[in-house]
Chains A and B, each alone.
Chain A
Amino acid sequence: MSTSSTPAPLASPDPAAASCRIGARGISRSFGPVQANVDVMLTVRPATVHAIVGENGAGKSTLMRMLYGLDHPDSGTVVIDDEEVVLSGPRAAIERRIGLVQQELAIIPELSLLENLVLGDEPAHLGRVDWKAARTRADELAASVGIEIDWNADAARTSIAIQQQVEILRLVYRGADVLILDEPTAVLAPAQADELLRLLSSLREAGRTVIFISHKLDEVLHIADRITILRSGRTIAEIERGEVDRAGLAAYIVGDSEVPHSEITRGTPGEVVLRIEGVSADDDRGIPRVDGVSLELRSGEIVGVAAVAGNGQEELAESLIGIRAVSGGTIRLGDDDISSRSVRARRRAGMRYVSADRKHEGLALTLSLTDNSIATPGLTSLARAGWLRRGAVAERVSSVLGRAAVRFGSASDPASSLSGGNQQRVVLGRETSGDTRVLIASQPTRGVDVKGIGYIHDLLRRARDEGAAIILFSEELDELRELSDRIVVLHRGRISGEVDGSSSRAEIGALMLGEHHGDAAS
């Protein structure tokens, strides 16, 4: 615990001289019967941004973990600076100046951003941290990539975008020259993602090498110098910048299997089901986040909600289903005031919820698919005198999983055995089964691949056509435009405008930044 050194200067053997800064030579890796990587080849040239694309479960994260020494190939080797190496663990990777930002950020919420930055390599004298030196170094780092960070802020109080920037800077602080980012933009709003891409560009200009995984083909085409496509654990192609367009890339990713292509249909709004009247809500720290939102939802329509992250959309979604108390206003379902009803009562009345936090609120990952499919207040209809009827349970499970076309082995497998996209389909299958009057869907396609997104969109449209009133919270503007009958935009907890579902990105984007242009935009 005593080593505390300043980051080493760039290693003397010129890394730019190597044709392959980091890569894979014939790597295979299996987990039980599942082949995550099969004979994968990867060559990342120094000082480039290299994108890795592929469906969920294509083996991208497994490959990244091996490049960072968190996992080890069954056969084949990792290549660093044209040399075949064995990485015994992350320490070995760090020594070779490789850093990884995983999907779960290694930011410690209880510490300040500055503490997070220097943690493990603090400038110190006799065990006493030199916070002044740390601060100077932090400011230099931020300035070198052209961003500003309030280093004294508690990490818990900062947005995920800033936490991510700090995590990237931490790798640079520790001397990393190769930065591996696992789906960094999946959790970012469009503006934040743009900022991240700029940060990556400036890292590349400074001579660092960036590998990043993304499902967002536009940003991949925008920033990557080179793209590697993985499918079912195999390298399908390595493409230079400009050699492929969006459609071509999508075709590489899904291969022969069909891209589910649904025509865009709009809903036929019926009568008003849910009336939101002047609703306000606070976040966990008591800070007001939703400020007097009024909205009506009609059966058979999808109302999209667009907002930059942190503008109250999460709190609004949670207060609609009742996980979060409203601090003002009323919510009416039909003629009933449900503002202070429990989640259970709301669900019994036909309200359903798809949480943005699939892993914690959407599913119980360690429980079986069966348990996850039937775990609703409607469970009692499957029981007689408190005993679950096997036949009825099996029927419900196959209807839920069948509705969502979930690909699974056995219904007794844990939910964690499914890929992210399939997990989310279980949630949507469950939440759209039965008599759904109102569906609150929060970021339903977050971290889901192209094909999975198609299925989820179909499920939402189907629920709409069956008469549900759907409120869709999404950070993907294209998704909102494709699905919504109308889009309301939240800015600082207030509705800054309402526009038609087919409005342009620019129009919605302006409202997201709080630019009112005439009050009656719809």
Chain B
Amino acid sequence: MNFDLLLASAITLSVPLVLAALGGAIHRRAGIVNIGLEGHMILGALIGAVVSGISGNWALGALAGFIAGGFSGLLMNVIITRLKGNEIIVGLGYNIVMFGVIGYVLRAAFGVSGTLQFEGLQRMPKIDIPVIADIPVLGALVSGKDPLFWLCIVLVPFLAWALKATTWGVRLRATGASEAASASLGLRTLGIRDGAGIVAGALAALGGVALSLGTVGLFNENMTAGRGFVALAAFYFGRSRPLPTALACLLFGFFDALQIRLQTVGGFSPDIISTLPYIAVVVVLAFTGIRQSRRGARALS
């Protein structure tokens, strides 16, 4: 098995996860668990594919997906904050509605079911870095990646810094930790949460763009395949801090890449192998749970 290929594919597969998980992490820090990441992702994937397909410009597609995701995030968040919906129920319902609407739009507007392809769709470019590309491991890590990979590289430290050093970050964390106390200090907690919801929706939608305009260059209504929920697990594991969250995504991305490799090796049932990343998620979550219960160990029984 070629390790460099495995590594390169792990990183490529991690990018959508990192984007969605960072969005979820920000929303979580503002006090809301975003169960709707999956829905935002699939919307971003569709809008990205459609706009890139029509305009022939990947950047326009990505931008459109990003903006659509922001609106989507705002809509879902408003239902939670202003209409006082339960975040879990709203998130789950939101996903179901989103997938239903998208399935309908595919049939009604494009006359296809499942997969949507555009002749003129422009995929994201791969940025090859000369010299470094030939270095083992390092080349696989950073060369031949799309622009959204580099966005992740910038976003992780930026968000970590912004949470600590900006008024936005301090107020966001305060709101998430204690809404009542923050409101009593005159913070506009609903507005802060709406803002975080927009960030979550927009970043998750960019994750969707990374799927549809990345390797394949088409839209499929099953293409997120639960990645929104894997992202949920990632920021839970990373306790909503940007770097650990991104590292958790890398871990899940690695298992996804491994699964794809093992499919080609043969010898195992492909159906069982394809469950590998999800089993990894369950194992990691169990580990997180044990760690946290140790931390807060209090009860004997």
Contact = CB atoms under 8 A, between A and B. Distances in A.
Given A1-B191, A119-B182, A111 B173 contact: yes
Given A110-B173, A120-B187, A342-B301, A127 B166 contact: yes
Q: Size band of the B side of the interface?
A: 20 to 34
A107 to B, nearest CB: 7
B300 A325 contact: yes
Contacts of A348: none
Interface string A369-394: 00000000000000000000000000
Interface in A83-123: 90-91, 94, 102, 104-111, 115, 118-120, 122
Q: Chain A: interface secondary structure? A: loop
Given A91-B186, A343-B300, A106 B167 contact: no
Interface stretch (B75-83, B275-283, B291-299): B291-299
A344 B301 contact: yes
B269 interface: no
Interface string B74-105: 00000000000000000000000000000000
B285 to A, nearest CB: 22
Contacts of A111: 170, 173-174, 177
Interface residues of A, number: 36
A2 B5 CA distance: 48
A344 B301 CA distance: 9
Given A1-B167, A131-B165, A108 B178 contact: yes
B170 A122 contact: yes
B181 interface: yes
A110 B179 CA distance: 12
Interface string B138-180: 0000000000000000000000000001111011011011101
B184 interface: yes
B289 to A, nearest CB: 17
Contacts of B225: none
Contacts of A107: 181
Contacts of B177: 108-111
A112 to B, nearest CB: 10
A115 B191 CA distance: 20
A238 B298 CA distance: 48
Given A106-B181, A129-B165, A1 B171 contact: yes
Nearest to A343: B301
Interface string B174-202: 10111011101111100110000000000
Contact of B171 (A109, A119, A325): A119
A94 B180 CA distance: 17
A322 B300 contact: yes
Given A324-B298, A344-B301, A129 B167 contact: yes
Interface string A1-18: 100100000000000000
Given A110-B173, A128-B165, A340 B300 contact: yes
Contacts of A405: none
Given A106-B181, A129-B165, A90 B300 contact: no
Given A4-B167, A108-B178, A127-B167, A325 B185 contact: no
Given A106-B180, A109-B177, A170-B185, 16 more contacts: A90-B186, A106-B181, A107-B181, A108-B182, A109-B178, A111-B174, A119-B170, A119-B182, A119-B185, A122-B170, A124-B167, A127-B167, A129-B170, A325-B297, A325-B300, A342-B301
9 contacts: A1-B168, A106-B178, A108-B181, A111-B177, A119-B170, A120-B187, A284-B298, A342-B300, A342-B301
Interface of B: 165-168, 170-171, 173-174, 176-178, 180-182, 184-188, 191-192, 296-301
